[in-house]
Amino acid sequence: MASMEHPLFSLATQPDMRHLVYRSGENSLEIIPSGLGLPTIKDKDILIFCISQLMDRKNRGEPIGKRVRFSARELMIGTNRNTDGREYKRLEHAFQRLQGTQFKTNIRTGNRKEVRIFGLIDEGGFVMREEGKWRLDYCEVVLSDWLMRAIEANEVISISEDYFRLRRPLERRLYEIARKHCGAQPKWQIGLANLQNKTGSNAPLKKFRLNLRQIIEDDCTPFYKIELMADDLAIFRPRSASTALAPDIRLPEWSEEKAREVARFGPAIASEAVMRAGTDLRRSGWRGRRAPLAGRLWR
């Protein structure tokens, strides 16, 4: 399983109730959805936001804990979301998916076998204050011990703040894949069918190809350009070799090729969900469509 990558966050816009199972030899990873389905790639924004706050405090030498408090408006602005009333209900549903989805690992090492069941967050909720009528005071998320270990070990990857401007789930997923696999290399290439497997898209290959070509035509992927060749070979290239990566990048020490024991399943989340924003797209030479700057996670 160490060399495999799994799309743990759904690209679907409707509830995704799939029960996912990944195997490598005698080891396995199961993802059991919550009552509202698997966590979505938009739900991941909450994890990115919370971990960004903790890493900011940690880098300033301040103590950190697994409990993170923030205003809902701060989250919505920081992740480029609307701030209307409907977004609060979406946030509640995201908490339910992140807390309710279970990850089960079954790992054999020598004459021992360990079964671990864990989630991404232990709790998520809202604290209200009465001021004539009840008003939202703040949101609170309690991260799982599993994610906290990644934070404490600095196992994080930086991402462009413009990640949050990408509206299409597939577009976000392609950026993440490019960010991990291409990095500072001159290029990284992969066959179309394998790329679809990495994204987790359930669309027919013909539809996936069409969607990818539309994303390539729009050319809005931060830091990276994507090409699709006639033989269905997808090629990812940094837009600028000298500025494609942020100067403060931290790559996971237990990457997909070096994972071990229970942590061997970590990179699929740690390299996707455990990301922090803070790079400036203007240095990359990106000339795609722009949206008004909604905010930055790093202050």
Residue 171 sits in a domain whose CATH number is 1.10.10
Token pair of 241, please? 């070799």
SS3 57: helix
Is 180 in the same domain as 62? no
Residue 290 inside a domain? The answer is: no
Instruction: Verify that 55 and 133 share a domain, yes or no.
Output: yes
48, two tokens: 């990115």
Q: Which residues pair with 24 in a beta bridge?
A: 27
| Helix (H), strand (E) at residue 27 | strand 27-32
For the full predicted model, state whether its pTM sits above 0.85. no
Q: Do both 47 and 194 map to the same domain?
A: no
Burial class (CB in 10 A: 0-12, 13-18, 19+), 231: exposed
Is the residue at 287 inside a domain? no
Can you tell me the distance from the alpha carbon of 77 to that of 64, in angstroms, rounded to the nearest whole number? 23
Residues with Cβ within 8 Å of residue 273, at least 6 apart in sequence: 8, 9, 44, 47, 48, 51, 120, 147
- Are 189 and 121 in the same domain? no
Residues 260 and 120 in one domain: yes
Q: Which residues of the chain have a pLDDT value below 50?
A: 1-4, 242-299
Max CA pair span of the chain:
65
pLDDT of residue 6: 64
Do 65 and 22 have their domain in common?
A: yes
206 and 226: one domain? yes
pLDDT for 109: 65
CA 225 to chain centroid, in Å, comes to: 20
**How many structural domains does the chain have?**
2
The verdict on 224 and 141 lying in the same domain is no
What does the pLDDT read at residue 241? 53
What does the pLDDT read at residue 155?
77
pLDDT of residue 187: 94
Instruction: Give dist(CA 64, CA 191) in Å, integer.
Output: 42
Do 42 and 66 reside in the same domain of the chain? yes
Does 256 share its domain with 194? no
The Cα–Cα gap between 191 and 171 comes to: 17
And the tokens for 180? 């991990």
In a domain, 271, yes or no: yes
**Residue 50, number of CB atoms within 10 A of its CB:** 26
Q: Is residue 30 part of a domain?
A: yes
Which alpha helices (H) appear in 71-144, and where do they start and end?
72-78, 85-100
Other CB atoms within 10 A of residue 191 CB: 12
133: domain range?
Answer: 1-156+250-277
pLDDT for 44? 94
